[in-house]
Structure 1
Amino acid sequence: MREAMFIVLLGFFVFTSFVEGRGLPPDEDLELEMQLKKLNKPAIKTVKTKYGDIYDCVDFYKQPAFDHPLLKNHSFHFDMRLNSPSRRHRDIKNNSSGIKGVGCPRGSVPIRRTTKEDLIRLRNFTNIHPLNGNTAGLHYAGAYVRPEFVSGMKMGGAEAYISIEKPPLPDTRVHWFSSGLIKISNGPEFIKAGWMVDPLVYGDDRPRLFTLWIVPTKGCYDARCPGFVSVNQDLPLGYVFREVSKSGEQVTEMRFLIQRETNSGNWFLSIEEEQVGFWPGILFKELSQSAGDVFFGGEVFTSPGNRGIPVGNGLIPEKDDPDLYAHHRQIAVLDDHMNVLVPATESREANDIRPGYVRQATLDEHWGRTVMYGGPGVELR
């Protein structure tokens, strides 16, 4: 029971105050070694990045996703892909710095290796995150779209060009994170994808590609528990974005697309033109049918009573100049029947932090409907 509870805790990942590390007794050290053997799958090839991450190239069929009991008798394969949807807006090339991946052999997928240091760091925290039903400490600033905003259209996904940011580091030793993302939900179920800075989860302050899926009582980040199926041999979850935006100097963006496969209910994630993987429809109930709500913007977390975390790049959007601020441009939702992306021109503000942290504008062909968001950390309850 203790081991099962710890693995769930590892999947949930979000914790509060630091506890000083101490040497582990031999029995606890042995327990960690046993957990690592279960969490890390046999590697065909191992790649170490310049950031110190170790990625194991794992056979597609042996990846952690298939440990989920609902996926034991799956018919998935390495070449599963979706056709990209057409667009009702002009497809403008973004200011991407490009993606330099891991380079696993065909038929295998890169999985970030869990280390003993990860387990020690994580076990010293108390789980109060929304993953376990507690929303204290989680805040958001952005815009949302519902079917009634787009003439009752059945929504089967969303797209945006998301600026990659590195928020100013807060002066705090409590757990925190800051992110820019697309969130697709229906009832209590949701999926998220975007960039996130989270020193507890990743061990540094770099913006990384993250995913999250939640159903009642279950869910986790990236490949930390069974669920998300990777299909890309080069682009891993937890990938470090090499370049970030600098206000007024450089805009670095990535195109994020989440789209539902109509027949199966699988939700596919693409970054730029690369399909990364999918959340199997069988994991969901309501969400396997359609999206009830799409959110574009930023989320931050810190334990209640502590000073808040900077949102976006820490700047409040005061004018219609997205070059200066964290933003999602060309935001669009997917018509589930026609497989067409429709500009989300009727998006509405979603902001529980402070007035002024969100600004929306429909600009020229390059920007389209754009959501700008951000601001400094303030104490939140």
Structure 2
Amino acid sequence: MKLAILHTEGIRYMGGKTDMKTWNPHVEEDDEYSTSRLALMSGAYNDYQDIESGWANDGSRETGCFDLTCPGFVQTSHEIALGAAIYPISTQNGLPYSISVFIFKDLNTSNWWLQYGGSINIGYWPSKIFEGGLGIHAQTVQWGGEVYSKNVGKHPHTKTQMGSGAFPIYISENTGFMKNMRILDNSMELRFPQYVDAYSQEYDCYKTQYMGDYIEEPDFHYGGPGRNPLCP
């Protein structure tokens, strides 16, 4: 698994939010996937809990579980079909289509709720499925892309794409793209995090570009083609 993300950590997070463009990246093998997601995490690097929401393009789903195939999530609204195809998707000729996701902790029940589109509470992860960690709060919030393949970090590298499949070399919305990124802290007010760090685990394969200086609303661009002349 390889990430290209915007990352914040260090305080008690009670939620995270973003708007993300939707794409249909190429996935090379049946046991691979490419996803763009908001993730809240707690725990050590090699022993952590996380909850995620976004969109994914995957093969046979043999690499793990998604949506209601994962134990624990309780769906309360059927306005959104989890795991169904998203339509329309963004296109390189300019059709901008995005989805909005918000994960937040209910302080009365300690459950983590998933909200879509700014108003639809799809369901929740019960607090009882978490021991410590996310049972209390998140320590990290991430925005960005993830590719799973047995051929990341190897040669030949996978051709599975991230985001739109394009590098965010120039300022363009025709890449993996997120905006309106927010965290929910102890104040229970949505705000942009004070400190963020953008990084890619395989920069020649999947890149990041964070635009946050001197603009009112920061943007985060990410993605790439996987295998290419710099990532053979």
User: Normalized against structure 1, the TM-score is what?
Assistant: 0.53
Alignment of 1:291-310 (within 5 A): 291-304=138-151, 305=154, 307-308=157-158, 309-310=160-161
Residue 180 (str. 1) matches residue 11 (str. 2): no
**What is residue 6 of structure 2 aligned with on the other side?**
143
By how many angstroms is 1:141 displaced? 0.4
- CA offset at residue 173 of structure 1? 4.0
What is the CA distance between 1:174 and its match in structure 2? 4.8
1:249 and 1:338 mapped to 2: Cα distance? 38
User: In structure 2, what residue type is equivalent to 1:324?
Assistant: N
What residue is the counterpart of 1:287 in the other structure? Answer: 134
| Percent of residue pairs bearing the same amino acid type | 22
Q: Larger strand proportion, structure 1 or 2?
A: 2
Partner of 2:222: 373
Cα deviation, 1:21-54, whole Å, max 9, x if unaligned, reads: xxxxxxxxxxxxxxxxxxxxxxxxxxxxxxxxxx
Q: Does 1:166 align with 2:24?
A: yes
- Kept in 2, the 8 Å contact 1:344–1:369? The answer is no
- Return the offset for 1:347: 1.4
Task: Write the distance in 1 (CA, Å) between the matches of 2:106 and 2:75.
Answer: 16
Runs of 4+ more than 4 Å apart: none
| 2:166 equivalent to 1:315 | yes
CA distance, structure 2, for counterparts of residue 264 and residue 288 of structure 1: 10
Q: Following superposition of structure 1 onto structure 2, how do residues 244-259 of structure 1 map, counting pairs within 5 Å? A: 244-259=89-104
Matched position secondary structure for 2:180: strand
- Structure 2 equivalent of residue 125 of structure 1: none
Q: 2:193, 2:170 → 1: CA distance? A: 20
Structure 2 contact 30–61 (Cα < 8 Å) conserved: no
Contact 2:66 2:83 in 1 (8 A): no
| 8 A contact 2:38–2:54 mirrored in 1 | yes
TM-superposed CA distance for 1:225, in Å, is: 4.2
**Cα pair 2:32 2:148 within 8 Å, conserved:** yes
3-state secondary structure, aligned to 1:223: helix
Q: Which runs of 5+ in 1 are unaligned?
A: 1-137, 203-218
SS at match of 2:165: coil
Instruction: Look up the equivalent residue of 2:82 and give its one-letter code.
Output: L
Partner of 1:325: 175
Aligned to 2:57: 197
One-letter code aligned to 2:141: V
1:277 aligns with 2:123: yes
Unaligned runs of 5+ in 2: none
* Higher relative contact order (CA closer than 8 Å, sequence separation 6+): 2
Match of 2:113 among 265, 268, 271: 268
Equivalent position amino acid for 2:126 in 1: P
Highest Rg: 1 or 2? 1
Q: What are the within-5 Å matches in structure 2 for residues 52-131 of structure 1?
A: none
1:157 Cα offset (Å): 0.7
State the shift of 1:307 in Å. Answer: 2.9
Contact 1:236–1:276 under 8 Å retained in 2:
no
Could you tell me which amino acid in structure 2 is paired with residue 156 of structure 1? M
The structural deviation recorded for 1:248 is: 4.9
Moved more, 173-182 or 309-318: 173-182
Count of residue pairs the alignment pairs up: 217
* Distance in 2 (alpha carbons) for counterparts of 1:139 and 1:163: 20
Task: Give 1 or 2: higher helix fraction.
Answer: 1
Q: Is the 8 A contact 2:30 2:59 kept in 1?
A: no
Structure-2 separation of matches of 1:373 and 1:289: 30
TM-score (norm 2): 0.85
CA distance in structure 2 between the partners assigned to 1:225 and 1:373 by the alignment: 27
SS in 1 for 2:179: strand
- 2:197 is equivalent to residue 348 of structure 1: yes
Q: Is the contact between residue 29 and residue 59 of structure 2 (CA under 8 Å) also seen in structure 1? A: no
Does the 8 Å contact 2:30/2:58 carry over to 1?
no
